[in-house]
Amino acid sequence: MLIGAHLSTAGGVDKSFKRAEELDCTAFQIFTKSNRQWRAKDLKPEEVERYHARQAETGIGPVICHASYLLNLGTPDDALWNKSIDALVVELERCEQLNIPALVLHPGAHVKSGVEAGVARVAAGLDVVHNRLPDVRCKVALEITAGQGTALGATFEELAAIINACAQSDRLAVCFDTCHALAAGYEFRTPESYAAMIEQFNAALGLERLAAVHMNDSQKDVGSHVDRHEHIGEGCIGLEPFGYFLNDPRLANIPFLLETPVKDDPGDNRRNLARLRSVVK
C-alpha cells in the first residue's frame, strides 16, 4: 500500500528519502521549492543525481509534488496570471527532473470575476503551460478545495469543467483531500455516504484521473468552507472514515498522503501514520 506524508526537503530534495525511511513511508509528497516564495534556485545536478540514486535504493515512490501556494491561474489580474504560468512551468520542469508523476495544484481563485470566468481563466493558463512544455510527462493534479473565499474547484463538477475546457485534458489529474472535501460540503463519514461520494467523483471526473489522496482530518465541520487540517482521528472526520479510503480496492494504487500539522517532527507524522495503518484491513 502507498501510505506516506508530506515531508521536508531541508538539506536537498534527496534528503526526503531518509525521512521517508524513518517513517516507513511507501510514498510521499514534497515541495521542490519554497511554497511561499516565487523564486527558486535551480536544482543542482548532483542533488538530482543523488535523488534518483536514493529513490532507486529505497524503492520508495511515487513521490508527488505540491505546487507553491502563491500561484493563481484563476485571477483576472494579467500580471499575476502570467507570473503564475511562468512559475508553474518552472515547477513542472523541476518535477520532470525528479521523475515526479504528478504536481498537485490548487486551481486558483476567481477574485470576484465569477466562477465561469475563473474556470475559463484556469483552463487557458493550463493550455499555455502545456503548449510551453510539450514533452513534460508530469501531470498537473488539480486539488479539490474547501471553497474558501472565491477559491475554485470546491466541487467535482467545477474541477471537471476546468479539465474539459483544456485542450490537452489528458495531461491533467485530480487530487482528493479529505479535509477540503468535507469542508466543501461532501459527506463521506458513513460507509453509505462514502460509497455515494465516490460514485459522484467517478461520474464527474472518473476514478482513473485520481493521482493522490491527501489524508487530513478537519477542524471544521461539513460545509464550513474553512481549510484547517487536524491530526487523524482528532477532528470532525474521525478515524474510521479514513479506513473507507484505505480499504477501497478501487484506490489500491493511489498514494495516501498526510498533510497533518507537524510541530513534533517526526513524532506527529509517526503518530498519524500509525493511526492510518490501524484502520487498514
Q: Which of 91, 227, 230, 275 is catalytic?
A: 227
| Residues paired with residue 173 on neighbouring β-strands, in sequence order | 141
User: What's the min distance (Å) between Cβ of 69 and Zn ion?
Assistant: 8
Largest pairwise CA distance in the chain:
50
User: What's the min distance (Å) between Cβ of 93 and Zn ion?
Assistant: 20
Of 99, 195, 103, nearest in space to 143 by CA: 103
User: What's the min distance (Å) between Cβ of 104 and Zn ion?
Assistant: 6
Q: Which of 6, 110, 171, 214 is catalytic?
A: 214
Residue 281 near residue 243, CB atoms below 8 Å: yes
137 annotated active-site: no
Residues in 135-154 at the binding interface with Zn ion, rule: CB under 5 A? 143
Cell digits of residue 138: 508530469
Backbone torsions φ then ψ of 250, nearest 5 degrees: -70, -20
Which of residues 14 and 31 has its CB atom nearest to Zn ion in the complex? 31
Q: Which of 19, 180, 209, 275 is catalytic?
A: 180
Q: Which of 19, 110, 229, 275 is catalytic?
A: 229
229 annotated active-site: yes
Which of residues 13 and 183 has its CB atom nearest to Zn ion in the complex? 183
69 annotated active-site: yes
259 annotated active-site: yes
Of 141, 142, 248, nearest in space to 191 by CA: 248
Assess 230 for contact with Zn ion (CB under 5 A).
Answer: no
Percent helix, strand and coil across the chain, each to the nearest 5: 45, 15, 40
The DSSP line for 90-115 is HHHHHHHHTT--EEEE---B-TTS-H
User: CA–CA separation, 115 vs 14, rounded Å?
Assistant: 40
Which of residues 125 and 153 has its CB atom nearest to Zn ion in the complex? 153
214 annotated active-site: yes
Which of residues 61 and 153 has its CB atom nearest to Zn ion in the complex? 153
User: What's the min distance (Å) between Cβ of 213 and Zn ion?
Assistant: 9
- Helices 115-132, 156-165: axis angle to 10 degrees equals 50
Residue 228 near residue 185, CB atoms below 8 Å: no
143 annotated active-site: yes
Backbone torsions φ then ψ of 258, nearest 5 degrees: -75, 140
- # of chain residues touching Zn ion (CB under 5 A): 4
User: Among 210, 214, 230, 245, which residue sits at the site for Zn ion (rule: CB under 5 A)?
Assistant: 214
Which of residues 48 and 198 has its CB atom nearest to Zn ion in the complex? 198
177 annotated active-site: yes
Q: Which of 14, 91, 158, 177 is catalytic?
A: 177
User: Among 14, 91, 177, 217, which residue sits at the site for Zn ion (rule: CB under 5 A)?
Assistant: 177
- Binding residues (CB under 5 A) for Zn ion: these are 143, 177, 214, 259
